[in-house]
Chains A and B, each alone.
Chain A
Amino acid sequence: MKHLTIPGVLFVAAATALSGCAKLDGKVTVGGTLNSKGGAGNAVLTANASRCDDEVKGQATYKDQTALDWQNVGGVAFNAEVYDAGFCSDQPVHPDHIGDSTKHCRQDVCTGGMYQADFTYKSTNSKTPGEGKGFICMIDTGNGVSSGFGATGLLKTMQIESGPYQGYSNAGTMSGNVQISACPSDKSNKS
């Protein structure tokens, strides 16, 4: 099967593999639904995250009650705190920051033009208690403009790396609101 591939994205991935992909200041606001992980229902994601002058903050909630492989325990549900975030640039990381992982996007999946947020989560499903870590990569297909209907963005990937939902991942087109924006000028432009 031929999966749709965007050559530009491939090119960026190849270029940054050598030099790293810089994580820049920026904000994202997400609220909407996407397909379940293979299941019949929808997953619901609300999130906000910002990185302005290297100050990172944000929260998220997520629920996918019909996810295949998780439906027997009532699905996936958690609240999350964002501990790292940023807009992924096509530009390489500044040489002074090569060793600082917080300055790098996950270049294997979060390429130029996406917004990456790393989070710790706490399960809100009593059948699967516990805490862990994960990350998401978002694409704002409306270029900062919310159309209010249809596809406003893509959840390029959500991957849970530890805790009770370790191994869970999802991707899909978001219905709702996905907006990536610049930091307030009084913060990001401060010298």
Chain B
Amino acid sequence: MNFTHKKTMIAASIATLFSFSSLATEPVRMVLEAKANSVAEIKQKLNDIGVQINKELPTLDSFAITLEREQLADIANLNGVSAFYPDVPRKLMSESGTELIPYGLPMVQGDQVTYQGGKKVCIIDSGYSLGHPDLPVNNVDGANDGGAGSWYEDQLGHGTHVAGTIAALENNQGSVGVVSDESLPMHIVRVFNSRGEYAYASDIAGAIEDCQAAGSNIVSMSLGGSFSNPLEERAINQLARDGVLMIAAAGNAGQAQHSYPASYDSVVSVAAIDDHKVHAPFSQRASQVELAAPGVSVFSTVPEGRGHRDNPAMTVEQDGLIFQGFGMNSYTNELPDGTVSGELVDCGIGDESCGDVTSKICLFERGGFHPSEVEGGWPTPITFGDKINQCAEDGGVGAIIRNHLPGPIPGTVDNISIIAGTVTMKQGLTLLENVGKETTITVHSYPNHSFKSGTSMATPHVSAVAAVVWSNFPECSATGIRLALQASAEDLGETGYDHKYGWGLVQAKDAIDYIQTNGCKAPNGKIYGGDGTPR
């Protein structure tokens, strides 16, 4: 190797090095390949200089070493070195070590309650990824006569996501469901095939019968359509008379419109809200909407390996606040991940240094331009990488880029040295109000998890909360639980009942407290959906 080539390689190596170490002062781990006749000599020189030899690889004439950054050039210029480059990390392809708490879990008070057993939830959907490392195996059964394939498989991923919101395991990986200890019995009926396009109202009627035959107390239906169906309604009314509580999605058409089965009187219709407790624009408004639950960018389980598309994920935590967003992604380099904490500082658009932000987390607005470096030239965009690397140069340990347009924005960079991610415009504006607060960000890849939005994602929150609340008061009827969930919901939107949020955000702990205080008496006859008045 000639000198020029070697120097070029050192530069490239050092640039790459920053991918794997979050602090400029940290020692770095390198690989040194020696010429065959120089191994002993090199080893002696390394010892003389005081470089730590982590591993010798005699058959490869190589060493893994750890050294200070200022030693890099000296080592590279030793006689007998044939190659010198970073020792890149490898890890198990699992998600161990980083469990992401979906924002919906604390929002519905799922982290304040305990399932007491004795109630079974039936999920009518696209199947279930049995054997998923973050989902229960015990206490789960299913029916194959839904007509769309094996209940224990889920090529689409919709049903697996729903199930994760209800029951993802607390196991130091992935996400966490409302009941996270594998104690909740679940029955799965698969009515959607791998394309998710093939189910009829009669399929739902049959699936409901399956749920009842399996001894289910609650039926969770993250599905719907514009047209009511007498057979389906008859099956649902029969099940309601038999004491089963049914919960369904209000619909995603984003306008005032009924959706069925949610808009049958015997079914609890669930609207979707975001992490700011604001009605999701896609969530249908109707007189039958009864409760609201988190349904925007909900993090949960998907079939193994199917979550890569949306990864890595980032969680931002401040005092009492949890946001989820995208971690930075790179097609060319492995980016740093992990967890860092520090004071949140506003670094504006990132067109200049943010000053000394040592050990802090930088908050940037997306967008902006660098002025042209030549007179009359075009300005150049300030990239995500520019902002994040500026933060790193200023001493920051993490960076958050807030979108300047509505909605999420996945971020791609070439190479960065600190962990970073993006948040929505709404999340970003909230963070902007919280500048100065201690903030923790976690960036991690979750190949078996993903974000999904829809009233489909809101529905299982209510189903799971209903199961937990009912398990605490098994003497209550389905109607008693339904009325208690309404009465204890956190009022959102217009005061009292409204067509966007129904009675409001479902609250597990408050519902238990409500029943303890007020009991769960309920009328024996039919009750009506929505605000409870007859249609």
Residue B456 contacts which of A1, A4, A42, A150 (CB distance < 8 angstroms)? A1
CB of B200 within 8 Å of the partner chain: yes
Chain B's closest residue to A38 (CB) is: B256
CB of A190 within 8 Å of the partner chain: no
Question: In angstroms, how far is the closest chain A Cβ from the Cβ of B146?
Answer: 13
Chain A's closest residue to B192 (CB) is: A2
As a 0/1 sequence over residues 169 to 200 of chain B, the CB contacts with chain A under 8 angstroms (1 = contact) are: 00000000000000000000000100011111
One of B24-32, B129-137, B223-231 at the interface: B223-231
In the assembled complex, which residues on chain B have CB atoms less than 8 Å from the CB atom of A173? Answer: 227-229
Total count of chain A residues near the partner, CB < 8 A: 27
Known pairs A38-B256, A40-B535, A68-B256; A2 contacts B286 (CB<8 A): no
Chain B's closest residue to A170 (CB) is: B257
Chain B's closest residue to A5 (CB) is: B197
Known pairs A38-B286, A68-B499; A4 contacts B199 (CB<8 A): yes
CB of B263 within 8 Å of the partner chain: yes
As a 0/1 sequence over residues 104 to 148 of chain A, the CB contacts with chain B under 8 angstroms (1 = contact) are: 000000000000000000000000000000000000000000000
In the assembled complex, which residues on chain A have CB atoms less than 8 Å from the CB atom of B286? Answer: 38-39, 68
Known pairs A36-B287, A68-B499; A4 contacts B230 (CB<8 A): no
Chain A's closest residue to B454 (CB) is: A1
Q: In the complex the two chains form, what is the Cα distance from A3 to B284 in whole Å?
A: 13
Q: In the complex the two chains form, what is the Cα distance from A125 to B158 in whole Å?
A: 45
- Interface class of chain B by DSSP: loop
CB of A99 within 8 Å of the partner chain: no
As a 0/1 sequence over residues 67 to 90 of chain A, the CB contacts with chain B under 8 angstroms (1 = contact) are: 111000000000000000000000
Are A68 and B535 in contact, with the CB atoms below 8 A? no
As a 0/1 sequence over residues 1 to 37 of chain A, the CB contacts with chain B under 8 angstroms (1 = contact) are: 1111101001000000000000000000000000111
CB of B285 within 8 Å of the partner chain: yes
In the assembled complex, which residues on chain A have CB atoms less than 8 Å from the CB atom of B258? Answer: 35-36, 38, 172
Having A3-B251, A4-B224, A171-B226, one finds 10 other A-B pairs with CB under 8 Å, namely A2-B158, A2-B199, A3-B223, A4-B223, A35-B228, A38-B258, A68-B285, A68-B499, A172-B226, A173-B227
A residues with a Cβ closer than 8 A to B are 1-5, 7, 10, 35-42, 66-69, 150-151, 154, 169-173
B residues with a Cβ closer than 8 A to A are 126, 158, 192, 196-201, 222-230, 249, 251-252, 255-259, 263, 284-287, 454-456, 499, 530, 533, 535
